[in-house]
């Protein structure tokens, strides 16, 4: 049931990204182009997503178990550190260069565009590199 729920949530998320235009690199780059022809529509999508998530997150903070009886695992770290800021900057630079972020990249992976495949492969390589560096750091 958990895997089916995860699949359903992922499909809904992917369809939402497609409908909102967040899987269109030209639209994303228009949003990031503050000095040119700025397109604020993705900011509205992000604000709407935050508004929709506020009440469920407030409810989730008060729960010990999820609706599927798994332990509730919400982040509890609230401070900004060098790693968080560096990772955010790296993510933003990649988003700005490619015009796409990981969620939409997965949503349009089967579109047949080699650039999306290259982006996803680079993303997976970055995740692998992070995992290797983290295991060395922990040792």
Structural domain total, the chain? 1
Question: In this model, does residue 132 exceed pLDDT 90?
Answer: yes
Average pLDDT over residues 130-137: 92
User: Which domain range does residue 101 map to?
Assistant: 2-138
User: pLDDT of 2-50, one tens digit each?
Assistant: 889 889 988 888 888 888 888 888 888 888 888 888 888 888 888 998 9
User: pLDDT of 38-49, one tens digit each?
Assistant: 888 888 888 998
β-partners of residue 65 are 71
Please give the helix or strand (H or E) that residue 98 lies within, else none: helix 82-98
Residue 9: HSE in the Cβ half-sphere, 13 Å Cα cutoff: 6
Residue 71 three-state SS: strand
SS3 percent helix, strand, coil of the chain, rounded to 5, is 70, 0, 25
Q: Give the integer Cα–Cα distance in Å for 102 and 95.
A: 9
- Identify the DSSP state of 2: H
Closest to 104 in 3D by CA, of 3, 4, 27 = 27
The predicted model scores a pTM of: 0.67
Share of the chain above pLDDT 70, in %: 100
The token pair at 129 is 């590199």
Task: Give me the phi and psi of 66, to 5 degrees please.
Answer: -80, 175
Average pLDDT over residues 78-95: 88
């Amino acid at each position: 049931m958990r895997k089916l729920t995860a699949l359903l949530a992922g499909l809904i998320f992917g369809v939402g990204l497609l409908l909102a235009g967040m899987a269109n690199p030209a639209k994303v780059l228009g949003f990031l182009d503050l000095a040119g022809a700025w397109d604020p529509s993705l900011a509205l999508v992000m604000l709407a997503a935050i508004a929709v998530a506020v009440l469920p997150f407030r409810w989730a903070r008060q729960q010990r178990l999820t609706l599927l009886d798994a332990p509730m695992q919400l982040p509890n770290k609230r401070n900004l550190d060098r790693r968080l800021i560096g990772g955010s900057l790296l993510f933003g630079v990649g988003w700005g260069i490619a015009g796409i972020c990981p969620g939409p990249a997965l949503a349009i992976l089967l579109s047949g565009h080699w650039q999306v495949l290259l982006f996803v492969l680079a993303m997976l390589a970055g995740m692998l590199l992070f995992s290797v560096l983290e295991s060395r750091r922990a040792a």
